[in-house]
Amino acid sequence: MPTYQLTVNGKAHTVEASEDTPLLWVLRDHLNMVGTKFGCGIAQCGACTVHVDGNATRSCSLPVASAAGMSITTIEGLSEDGSHPVQQAWKEVDVPQCGYCQAGQMMTASAFLAKNPSPTEEEIKDAMNGNICRCAAYNRIKKAVGVAAEKMA
């Protein structure tokens, strides 16, 4: 089985996995980083979102072979101590209900705000449109992205 060099949250890892293994399962099963969640497995729900070279990416549909050598950031590495403005905003607004989709929501939000630090409400809605929340915490998600943007200003 081939081996791959991955940089996750700034740390180098060597993993042995078949080349079609999605990054999601390498993170969860091989590296025991379970913050990134499995939702649909077909890049339709956003629960598995991580940053690959700063871009919000669906890890369930990215083969490990394509992720090798790139800089990957997961929810565990968004900040060292939960102090990223998006994490702070999520706590302040008390966004989660069950919380299962929220790692993906926060990774999408943080990648978006890095590119657009002062978004309009419409831009927030567009950016978060691909992340599904079965609890329907959408209003709080939208609010928290705005709160995070204010914190980053």
Partner 1 sequence: MSKSSIQFSRRNFLRTSSLASGGLLIGFNLFTACKSDVKPPVDLADLNYNDFNAFIKIAKNGAVTIFSPNPEIGQGVKTSMPMIIAEELDVSWDNVYVQQGVLDTKNYTRQVAGGSQSIRFGWDALRQTGATAKQMLVNAAAARWSVDASELTVSEGVITNKAGETLTYGDVVDEAAVLEVPENAVLKEPKDYKIIGTDRRNVDIDKIVTGQPLFGIDYKEEGMLYASVLRPPAFGQELVSFDATEAKALPGVVDVIQIGDKAKALLGGEKVNWTAQLSGSGKVVVLAKTTWDAFKGKKPSKPFGQMLHL
Interface with partner 1 (CB under 8 A): 1, 17-18, 20-22, 25, 28-30, 32-38, 41, 74-76, 78, 82, 87, 90-91, 94, 96-100, 102-103, 106, 135
Give the nearer residue to partner 1 in terms of CB position, either 78 or 127: 78
Instruction: Please give the Cα distance from 56 to 31 (Å, whole number).
Output: 20
- Least distance to partner 1 from the beta carbon of 122, Å? 26
Give the nearer residue to partner 1 in terms of CB position, either 126 or 136: 136
DSSP 8-state symbol, 107: H
Instruction: Please give the Cα distance from 58 to 52 (Å, whole number).
Output: 9
Rounded to the nearest 10 degrees, how much is the dihedral formed by the CA atoms of 148, 82, 138, 53?
80
- Least distance to partner 1 from the beta carbon of 68, Å? 16
- Least distance to partner 1 from the beta carbon of 31, Å? 11
From residue 139, give the alpha-carbon distance in Å to each of 1, 83, 121: 45, 22, 11
Residue pointed to by tokens 């890890």: 59
Give the nearer residue to partner 1 in terms of CB position, either 28 or 142: 28
For β-strands 49-52 and 55-58, DSSP reports them as antiparallel
- Least distance to partner 1 from the beta carbon of 74, Å? 7
Give the nearer residue to partner 1 in terms of CB position, either 29 or 126: 29
